[in-house]
Amino acid sequence: MVKHWSKVEYLHESVKNPNIIIKGTKSYYSNAYTPDFENYVVRYLYGDEYSRSHFKPLWEYDKLYIGNYVCIGAETIILMGGNNTHRMDWFASYPFMETIKEAYIDKGDTIIGDGVWIGMRAMIMPGVHIGEGAVIAANSVVTKDVEPYTIVGGNPAQVIKKRFDDKTIAELSALKIYDRSEAEIDKLIPYLCSNDLNALKQQLK
């Protein structure tokens, strides 16, 4: 099949790793320039298909949770378990196999909320939580949590601005739009593709 930017990989159709949990059917990866999402974007050193079938687990595998309506740009990297074995509090940061279990620092699960847009070539570090509706600028390195409806960019990623004022963000988050069925959300498209919060709230009533 010819790859092209107009064709995307829907994650619920392709992901097989039990440690990657996909919500809904709308989240996609722009895979025109790379292999598939699971083998290119998600970088498990321990927890990928090969390590799960060839090695005894040294620790509990961290999980990647991806919400619905998430857009992941081409060449994004999401670092997962095993990439965090370089101890800064030891004299040697080298991951000697003799002490690899002790070198591992659990960062927790990585969570990408509903409606997030991740720009091309962004890198998400282990254990980061990205809130609903957040935007990650292209080429950013995200080292800490991102609040809902916030735009971040740079290396390390810093807040550029919030998409809406705090009151609007709080109200949007409280509506829990993405917990509704996809059929319900389809009916809301004209109201979601606008910035009239009152109209959206009226429709939800």
Mind listing the pLDDT tens digit for each residue in 17-56? 999 999 999 999 999 999 999 999 999 988 888 888 888 8
pLDDT band at 134 (very low <50, low <70, confident <90, very high): very high
12 is catalytic: no
Active-site residue among 4, 54, 86, 129? Answer: 86
Per-residue pLDDT at 52: 84
Q: Could you report the per-residue pLDDT of 175-185, keeping only the tens digit for each? A: 999 999 999 99
Per-residue pLDDT at 1: 66
Tokens of 170: 């709080």
User: 197-204 and 166-175 helices cross at what angle (nearest 10)?
Assistant: 20
Q: Could you report the per-residue pLDDT of 161-176, keeping only the tens digit for each? A: 999 999 999 999 999 9
DSSP symbols for 35-92: S-HHHHTEE-SSSSHHHHHHS--SSPPP-EEE-SS-EE-TT-EEE-TTS----SSSS-
What is the sign, positive or negative, of the torsion defined by CA atoms of 95, 98, 101, 105?
negative
Per-residue pLDDT at 44: 92
In whole numbers, what is the pLDDT of the chain averaged over residues?
Answer: 94
Per-residue pLDDT at 141: 98
Q: CA-CA distance, 196 to 201, in Å (whole number)?
A: 9
Question: Looking at the predicted structure, is the pLDDT value of residue 6 above 90?
Answer: no
Mean pLDDT of 102-114: 95
Tokens of 11: 């994650």
Per-residue pLDDT at 56: 82
Per-residue pLDDT at 78: 98
Whole-structure pTM value: 0.93
Q: CA-CA distance, 109 to 129, in Å (whole number)?
A: 8
Query: For residue 99, which amino acid is it?
Result: T
Q: CA-CA distance, 188 to 182, in Å (whole number)?
A: 10
